[in-house]
């Protein structure tokens, strides 16, 4: 069966450290993968997109890697801040035009 797995346990880190979140998938062959941020009581907000032929993508303090052999994406936030505390969702294309399948998300807590 098709699955997207993100760590359901919250990730607790100290301010200034690098947070690394993992997204694993099985039985998909996505052309691209996206990461979203969701704050409590709000809709997800797009952060980054990485295509299957890209190994790494950066945007300010964010970095995403995509390994289609391992079927895994890693999402890094460097120099993390308490304001980075949120739930982070990965999503990949479901083979249909702009249809996405979402993981359940990982909650990140950054303490001062």
- Residues lying near another protein in the complex (CB under 8 A): 4, 8, 31-32, 34, 41-46, 49, 51, 89, 91, 93, 97-105
Residue 108 Cβ, how far from another protein at the closest point, in Å? Answer: 16
Residue 42 Cβ, how far from another protein at the closest point, in Å? Answer: 6
Residue 98 Cβ, how far from another protein at the closest point, in Å? Answer: 5
Between residues 27 and 97, which has the closer beta carbon with respect to another protein?
A: 97
Rounded to the nearest 10°, the torsion over CA 51, 20, 10, 88 is -30
CA contacts within 13 A on the Cβ side of 8: 3
Angle at 93 between CA 90 and CA 98, to 5 degrees: 115
């Amino acid at each position: 069966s098709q699955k997207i797995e993100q760590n359901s346990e919250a990730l607790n880190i100290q301010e200034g450290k690098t947070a690394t979140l993992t997204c694993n998938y099985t039985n998909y062959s996505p052309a691209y993968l996206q990461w979203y941020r969701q704050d409590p009581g709000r809709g997800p907000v797009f952060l980054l997109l990485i295509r299957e032929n890209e190994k790494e993508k950066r945007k300010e303090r964010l970095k995403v890697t995509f390994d289609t052999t391992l079927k895994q994406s890693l999402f890094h936030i460097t120099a993390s801040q308490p304001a980075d505390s949120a739930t982070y969702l990965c999503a990949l294309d479901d083979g249909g035009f702009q249809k996405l399948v979402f993981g359940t998300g990982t909650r990140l807590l950054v303490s001062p």
